[in-house]
Amino acid sequence: MSTPKFQQIKAYIIARIEAGEWPHNKKVPSENELSQQFTVSRMTARRALQDLTEQGVLVRSQGAGTFVASLKSQSSLLEIRNIADEITDRGHKHHAVQSALNTISVNEELAILLNVPTESQIFYSEVLHFENDAPIQLEQRYVNKRLVPEYLEQDFSAQTPHEYLSSVAPLTEATHEIEAVNVNGHTCQLLNISATTPCLQIKRRTWSSQGVVSFAILTSPGDRYRLGGHLVF
């Protein structure tokens, strides 16, 4: 089965960027130029450029053109996506290392966040996500044991916690808390950063129809990761 033309255009653009031929702020070919080069309609070329813009690879400026974005990875503020899909959509490779998966007792804060009794036990996972072999995000996740009883049986180096939870407890609601932080030695070591490197940290609670499913702390080096979004009114 042949690759769709818009995917071919995306692959072409990503290859030029990764080869260093198109650096940050380089203007990329227009819709007209790409449609002629690949013998496709402008609509097909526009779809390729729009996809890469929404994935943070390109930046479009009305009246000026489309440019290569900065080399930080970008995640959307407007939707919750599987980080493995984000990385793959950028044309990069994702892999993960599971460093913890066990049962813990809740403290008062976690009991409130997960809406469980203070004497409860919950599940805890710690997964380090890589983009092209560079550590991009440490995911520390606390999971409601009652709602996801088979969580400890999973291999989160093979699938992400988000992917698994979406399949067994589909998301109905979520909250975000985002801040710039400095992190402790353990996190610095995992992310391969110095103690002075600022990090972007997202604290996220997710609900299914049955209640609060998880509370996650997602920490990324500030020089490798950013948040963005695209709103249409």
For the stretch 176-210, pLDDT in tens is 888 899 998 999 999 999 999 999 999 999 988 88
Ranges of beta strands (E only) in the chain are 58-61, 65-68, 73-76, 94-105, 121-131, 134-143, 173-181, 199-208, 211-221, 225-228
Handedness of CA 109, 112, 117, 121 (dihedral sign): negative
The C-alpha atoms of residue 218 and residue 202 are separated, in whole angstroms, by 5
User: Hey, where are the domains in the chain?
Assistant: 5-68, 73-228
User: Do residues 135 and 191 touch, judged by C-beta distance below 8 A?
Assistant: yes
Residue 55 has pLDDT above 70, yes or no: yes
User: Do residues 66 and 53 touch, judged by C-beta distance below 8 A?
Assistant: yes
Residue 95's alpha-carbon distances to 17, 74, 137, 187, in angstroms, are: 21, 17, 11, 18
Q: What angle do CA 207, 213, 214 make, to 5 degrees?
A: 105
Predicted local distance difference test score (pLDDT) of residue 67: 86
Q: pLDDT (tens digit, 9 = 90+) per residue, 93-130?
A: 999 999 999 999 999 889 988 989 988 999 999 999 99
Q: Which two tokens stand for residue 46?
A: 């526009």
CATH number corresponding to 5-68: 1.10.10.10
User: Do residues 55 and 131 touch, judged by C-beta distance below 8 A?
Assistant: no
Q: Which two tokens stand for residue 195?
A: 């103690």
Predicted local distance difference test score (pLDDT) of residue 173: 82
Q: pLDDT (tens digit, 9 = 90+) per residue, 1-14?
A: 678 899 999 999 98
Q: Tell me the average pLDDT across 4-26.
A: 88
Q: pLDDT (tens digit, 9 = 90+) per residue, 147-158?
A: 999 999 999 999
Q: Tell me the average pLDDT across 162-167.
A: 94
Predicted local distance difference test score (pLDDT) of residue 112: 85
Residue 60 has pLDDT above 80, yes or no: no
The C-alpha atoms of residue 69 and residue 84 are separated, in whole angstroms, by 20
**Residue 1 class from Cβ within 10 Å (0-12 exposed, 13-18 middle, 19+ buried)?**
exposed
Q: Which two tokens stand for residue 150?
A: 């088979």
pLDDT averaged over every residue in the chain: 87
The C-alpha atoms of residue 77 and residue 73 are separated, in whole angstroms, by 13
The C-alpha atoms of residue 16 and residue 196 are separated, in whole angstroms, by 33
Residue 232 has pLDDT above 60, yes or no: no
Predicted local distance difference test score (pLDDT) of residue 115: 87
Predicted local distance difference test score (pLDDT) of residue 233: 40
User: Do residues 125 and 100 touch, judged by C-beta distance below 8 A?
Assistant: yes
Predicted local distance difference test score (pLDDT) of residue 79: 63
The C-alpha atoms of residue 122 and residue 102 are separated, in whole angstroms, by 9
Predicted local distance difference test score (pLDDT) of residue 17: 84
Q: Tell me the average pLDDT across 122-147.
A: 96
Predicted local distance difference test score (pLDDT) of residue 62: 67
Q: Tell me the average pLDDT across 27-46.
A: 94
User: Do residues 20 and 68 touch, judged by C-beta distance below 8 A?
Assistant: no
For residue 130, list its beta bridge partners. Answer: 95, 135
**CATH class for the region spanning 73-228:** alpha beta
Highest mean pLDDT: which range of 35-39, 78-82, 229-233: 35-39
Predicted local distance difference test score (pLDDT) of residue 19: 82
Predicted local distance difference test score (pLDDT) of residue 230: 44
